[in-house]
Chains A and B, each alone.
Chain A
Amino acid sequence: MSESETENRIPPKKARSRSRMSIDDKTNKTLKDLDVKTPEAIGELFAELSLALDSERQHLIGEGASDDHERAQKVKALRDRWLARKGGQVSLIDENWLKKAPKELKPTVGRAFNQLRQQSASVETEQLLQDVPIRGSATAHPETTKAEFGVGRPSVDITLPGYRRPLGSIHPVTRVMREIEDIFLGLGFSIESGPEVESVYYSFDALNIPESHPARDEWDTLYVNSETVLRPHTSPVQIRAMKKHGAPLYILCPGKAYRHDNPDSTHATMFHQVEGLAVDTDITFADLKGTLEYFAKKFFGDKIKTNFSPSFFPFTEPSGELVISCVFCGGEGCRVCKESGWVEVMGCGMVHPEVLRHGGIDPERYSGWAFGLGVERFAMMKYDINDIQLFHQGDVRFLEQF
């Protein structure tokens, strides 16, 4: 017998003896001693006994016996415990509860007692001898109630795989997005969303990208008509949120964006971005740096190094690019980082005063910082995925890996 089986056998016995004690305690006392005064309480008391009777019987049936002799012994023990003329639970109840019950409760106790007596027929010797099976081995697992476990112990092939019900899975883009959200929610940011089919005004003009500026060409845009586009970034939500909530504002805007890009392994027509924005009275470039460094280390691990370099976005100034040491090679240089040891992860900057103004916020009083990142790109870095098309095909062979 293995150790674990020995251990397994002990606790149920203990549990059983504890509950038996408490029933015995009760049947040896009068209702008055037990402070049982109402029909409800009597009902509960009898319900407890009824359950105890049934569970002791079920337990014996589940346990079984190794041979006729043991069965006869076990059956007699249980029968006597409940039905012995002297000291059996039924006669104790008759003696201590029914006979000594106050007049007004007698009918209730009588009815309940009759029901219990009927039920107790199930532990009559004859009945039990029929119900309790003979098992092959005396060491049958005492805890189990299912016949096949006890009988089949030697034949259970424990090396067969566990029975796993098929679970579903969350899309890697959603996983990454939630992880990003969790980090910023933890910093007190809240989540905002906006339309994907967006006006040209919110997508460009309000973000300080006039039609006449060549920067506009950097967003290869899908048009619905001359005034409406599929938003080429999640940045329009910045303006909408500023207009809706005013300052101070600390928000995260996750969502889909679209570009007029022919699909290949690094370009998708539809992709996901997370936009972050903080506007308050005392925000400086230091907040931008500190928060994004914190975020990058939370997301990519605290071993990475971060670096900021200047860049240009019409809606931020000063603008920057957050670069981290390559998560694959640790900065040594590899295929992923094109041997540079560094990877650009997101654009960021101090919100341009014109953008604040378009959002109805006074740039003389408030300042802000913002960032935008590509979720698919993050997922590709996190899970070492080399083809962006995989995200939107819905191939189960891909999805089941997450």
Chain B
Amino acid sequence: MKVSLNWLKEFVEVPVDTRRLKADLVSIGLNAESSQAVGEDIVLDVEVTSNRPDCLSHYGVAREVAALYRKRLAPLEFICKESSAPASAEASIDILNPKLCARYCGRVIRGVEVKPSPDWLVRRLEAVGQRSINNVADVTNYVLMELGHPLHAFDLTRLEGRKVIVRSAKAGEQLQTLDGVSRTLVATDLVIADATRPVALAGVMGGEKSEISDNTQTILLESAWFDPVSIRRTSKSQGLHTEASHRFERGADIEMAPVALDRAAVLIAQLAGGEILRGVIDVYPSPKIRTFIELHRSEIQRVLGAEVPWEEVERVLRTLGFQVERRGTEGWRVTPPSFRQDVERKIDLIEEVARHYGYNRLPSRVRPAPPRLIAGQTRNKELEISSTLVALGYREIIPSAMIDPEENAKFTERPPVPLENPLSQDAAAMRSSAVPSMVHTLKWNLDRYRSDLRLFEMGRVYSARAKGLPEERRVLVLGATGNREPASIYSAEKKIDFHDLKGDIEEVLDCFNLPDLRFEPAAAPYLEKGSAGRFVSGEAALAILGSLRADLADEYKLRGRTVWLAAIELDALLSAALRQPSYKPISKFPPVERDFSLVIPRSTPYGRLQEAIRGLGIEELRSVAPVERRLPGDKELPEGAIPPGHVSLLLRITFQSPTRTLASDEVETQSRRIVAALGPLGVQIRG
């Protein structure tokens, strides 16, 4: 809302400079962001919140300024010089739908001369962002900006039967509005009609047919009150937002209707001549009466935490137009004015008091909340996971959760959650897999010459359900490509591979107490076949990992890079307990290491060797570690050292007892048992 300072001063004295005025307006909730000089005037840009339609006018802002500086607000008195001919003989008004149009006031002015407005009027309208049209139309706009009440002027001779009928539209009725658009109306639209057809979209915009033209001589001035919900519905369904609809849908002042009408009639008579016919045609079937609100002093104290003096409460409310009647020593009966439809309850009154008393004058105190145990908090677990990942070199990302549903389908069979009004096809649904977001982010960086990447996201995936809200699951996605460590004087470069990612996931899983954790082959639509695996705890699959399918990588133009991906079920992980450390005494006896140089068939996975060895239940077994793995044809080995279809594996096994130094013959015995247990797996001892 643009506010002209000169215009404002017609209603109230402003005892401060502009800078101060702006700051003071902000302090009472009128956000005066900026101001600029327009000729000899200064125009403020005031942001009016949607609950305060009364401040969408100069007079409304002047009322707040009067309360702010304890100045007198000029009263509104407009005296029309009426002729003796009664208006009611020239036009008739009929409201068929009094719920949606509670009041309709009309005046008839005869013999006007439609012509350009005088300079002062043009300038004022331009200062507040309105274009001048002609003297009659300009007056209606002027009164709108001044008093906040929308008016409309009809060419009375163009109204069939000189009639105004306020009614609901008939579905399919046509109306050409002033913006030149031909509109098809629906039954919920409220219209102003003459005897035969709609002539205006009530409270939103007039029609072209009945528009004031240069030849117009007799006008019917409309000043009405329309139901906010109805105006909002029509404005939305017609996609038409106007100064009038903006005010009506927020709630116009029903008592302002005849006042604004008189103001406009006086101005028109002054600028366009003509005679104002006798009387206002005022159709107001059931006048609205506001009831009082009881306000107790203790309630002000209870909400604001401060005792505001009696006089202060009364002064604020009275200067804002409220009727205040003191009730004993307890409080007041307060009747809000007709222009304050936003005030319905005690709390609304308390806000008015606080607003003008000053938020910054109210006390403040800080107290901690009473301590309270709440089960199921997962924050510590999340911190544990993310700090582990950061230590492992992963950077956190927070990509958009919106996706092209077709792309989503390449990654999962779960249905995503499509949006009704997406901004673009790229973001037409809520993802049901977070993996594509990761692939996008890896690509973004690869395209920007960053090639060693390890990223993680802790986010959600969404999938539609037949009934109720969609399912939301929390997931942790890892993405990695390039080198684990770049080449430097300290180390050679080392490419990230499957086992890097597997080990990183193991570190994360290791934060938790996960019973019966195992690793097994797995498959996912986006992972390369045959080299994907998953971690399972009990019945629950916790994590799947592998490399992005080569054809998908090509589709994403990943520059021929191998991209490693893992999707971890965060909900499952967070429902597990964090692993509680439990101390085991450190053995004081020396460990004994034995190396086993093995030749094993390629078809025998390492996991089976490990199972076989662990299966022996050797109490002194501390660790089993694969130290070196070589393939046939290894140049450091003699020709044929490894038969085709086999690999050699150096296995280092450590024994240690908590209670004694192990004798060499004991270690030998256990070593023989281990070799024997590996035999059935086709394992041979080399050299």
Contact = CB atoms under 8 A, between A and B. Distances in A.
A284 B400 contact: no
B360 A307 contact: yes
Contacts of A218: 50
Nearest to A213: B50
Given A224-B420, A291-B366, A171 B396 contact: yes
Interface in A270-315: 270, 272, 278, 284-287, 289-291, 293-294, 307-312, 314
A40 B659 contact: yes
Contacts of B430: 196-197, 224, 230
B160 interface: no
Interface string A155-186: 00000100101111111011000100100001
B309 interface: no
B385 to A, nearest CB: 12
Nearest to B455: A394
Interface residues of A, number: 92
A199 interface: yes
B372 A224 contact: no
Contact of B26 (A111, A260, A309): A309
Interface in B458-512: 460, 462, 469-470, 472, 485-486, 488-491
A287 B305 contact: yes
B362 A47 contact: no
Nearest to B346: A353
Interface stretch (A61-69, A95-103, A187-195): A187-195
B303 A270 contact: no
A40 B454 CA distance: 50
Contacts of A272: 398
Given A43-B589, A228-B469, A269-B400, A168 B389 contact: yes
Contacts of B390: 167-170
B635 interface: no
B133 interface: no
A285 B354 contact: yes
Contacts of A26: none
Interface residues of B, number: 96
A88 interface: no
Nearest to A191: B379
B391 A353 contact: no
Contacts of B31: 309, 311
B308 to A, nearest CB: 11
A388 to B, nearest CB: 12
Contacts of A289: 359, 362-365
Contacts of B27: 309-310
A50 B589 CA distance: 9
Contacts of B450: 396-397
A310 B374 contact: no
A223 interface: yes
Interface of B is mostly: loop
A91 to B, nearest CB: 21
Nearest to A310: B29
A240 B441 CA distance: 34
Nearest to A250: B369
Given A213-B50, A286-B365, A248 B370 contact: yes
A39 B423 CA distance: 79
Interface of A is mostly: mixed
B399 A394 contact: yes
B399 A392 contact: yes
A394 B397 contact: yes
B102 interface: no
Contact of A166 (B249, B402, B485): B485
A320 interface: yes
B421 interface: yes
Contacts, number: 258
Contact of A197 (B445, B469, B589, B661): B469
B422 interface: yes
A181 B383 CA distance: 12
Contacts of A112: 661
Contacts of A362: none
B444 A199 contact: no
B588 interface: yes
Contacts of A197: 417, 430, 462, 469-470, 472
A263 B426 CA distance: 13
Contacts of A198: 469
Nearest to B227: A212
Given A223-B421, A294-B366, A168 B395 contact: yes
Contacts of B142: none
B428 to A, nearest CB: 10
B507 to A, nearest CB: 12
A167 to B, nearest CB: 6
B444 A393 contact: yes
B686 to A, nearest CB: 28
B26 A286 contact: no
Contact of A308 (B360, B377, B490): B360
Contact of A284 (B28, B304, B402, B588): B304
A170 B396 contact: yes
Given A196-B462, A269-B402, A353 B232 contact: no
A190 B374 contact: yes
Interface string A306-339: 0111111010011110000000000000000000
A5 interface: no
B68 to A, nearest CB: 12
Contacts of B401: 196, 256, 270
B173 interface: no
A88 to B, nearest CB: 21
Most chain A CB within 10 A, of B417, B469, B485, is at: B469
A317 B348 contact: yes
Contacts of B588: 43-44, 47-48
14 contacts: A44-B589, A50-B590, A115-B663, A166-B486, A167-B393, A171-B397, A223-B421, A224-B418, A225-B420, A263-B423, A308-B360, A310-B351, A317-B350, A394-B445
Closest 6 CB pairs of A and B: A284-B305, A310-B29, A188-B369, A286-B305, A312-B49, A250-B369
